[in-house]
Amino acid sequence: MLLMCYCLNTSVAIYPNGSGDFSTVFYFPDMAKDKKRFAEVKMATETDWPGRWNHVKRLLERSGPFAHPDFEPSTEILTFMQETCRILVIGAGGLGCELLKDLALLGFRDISVIDMDTIDVSNLNRQFLFRPKDVGSPKADVAAAFVNARVPGCKVTPHYAKIQDYDESFYRGFHIVVCGLDSIVARRWINSMMVSLLNYEDGELDQTSIVPIVDGGTEGFKGNARVILPGITACIECTLDLYPPQINFPLCTLAHTPRLPEHCIEYVRILLWPKEEPFGAGVGIDGDDPKHVGWIMQKAQERADEYNISGITYRLTQGVVKRIIPAVASTNAVVAAACATEVFKLASSCCQPLNNYMNFNDTEGVYTYTFEAQKREDCLRAPSIKCDHQTVKSIEERTRENLKKTLKELGLKSGQEIYVADSTTPNSLTFVLNLGTSMDVGTENDVRAAN
């Protein structure tokens, strides 16, 4: 707490002392000249004021009925959280903003955040770390600057990049990874990366190589939070069937019998855009470009009028083009709070972590349900083969001509290995060829993941 008393150009900085009374700490004869010094003194004095972490200490310095069996209350736990523990937050959107705020207020001080997006005006209604002046700026940079300025002592390091831009050494440097993603592909990639960090000695998992993942997701009034211990509990790949399938419309419906405004928009996006190339040859659709979205909306409206369909709006058009998932601020807050709580439990061992999946639904009332997602025994482990090229796209560009060739023309024989790269994993899979002379024999081909 800080009180400022102004008298012309003279300022006195007053801070509370340990007993709760106020005492004058510094005197600035000329505030206009001493602004920088005052800011330094203010930050140094306010980083940890008396009683700041009492709410956290109550959980860390005494035991309780829900404490972890191995938990030993200690003042050193808070010190570890503040000075040693490194947290990585992936995503600085609706969930990410809430996560950064929650983690900073729980006492974590060494936080990194990755996000490849820039701020759009549509984000401002729920992503509260951003302001109108920030539109067009990187989300990670703005979110980090806001939390650093608002929470004394917290250092959030921004990374305006894709998660695929960093290698194992980067991810190995964190104690816990928290995901606030809106993409299944990105979830699968980070899941594979965390699994690839595991070390096995004589077939036994070295538990010191585990970097836990806390993953949260929301859609409208529904959400979920989960804790993943790579190599021990169910991972993203084990539970892919829990994710709803992406909605795709049959081309015959789009072309001949549209019934919904979404059909008209998809018709323009899939069929008309490549045919007419309105902004030049090879120019793809940019869902954040008003000109692109406007053109699609205009053409979709023309088709909607032809079939007496109503409901074409700019917002709907952009939502279909970008496949925007509806977001509700309150749902983000609840799920982020659940995720931050799990991070706190993992870092401090003050309570048993979630085992291992929680559903949240407040469509009608409030409903939560937890269950243990089962680890699949045939779940792919971390392959040891790394791709020679940085991205799947670069591999595709260099080997595009090979798509026209048969296995024989490529010179492949039985017993040889094929490394397969995919955008959902930083590693490759290995297929061992066992070529036969008929389809029956071919079905017995040996396919395995490289381990």
Catalytic one of 5, 7, 252, 264: 252
Instruction: Quickly tell me which residue has 């700041």 as its tokens.
Output: 52
Give the C-alpha separation, 177 to 150, whole Å: 23
- Which of 181, 256, 191, 193 has its CA nearest to residue 223? 181
Helices (H) and strands (E) in the chain, counts: 15, 15
- 240-244's contacts with Cβ under 8 Å and 24+ in sequence apart are 240/184, 240/188, 242/373, 243/184
Contact 225, 354 (CB under 8 A): yes
Q: Which residue type sits at 195?
A: V
Q: Which amino acid, 152?
A: P
Collapsing DSSP to helix, strand or coil, 382 comes out as coil
Verify whether residue 252 is a known catalytic residue: yes
Place of tokens 């701020």: 119
Contact in structure between 115 and 139 (CB atoms under 8 Å): yes
Q: How many CB atoms lie within 10 A of CB 97?
A: 29
Rounded CA gap, 72 and 368, in Å? Answer: 30
Residues 309 and 311: their CA atoms lie apart, in Å, by 7
| Active centre residues (catalytic) | 252
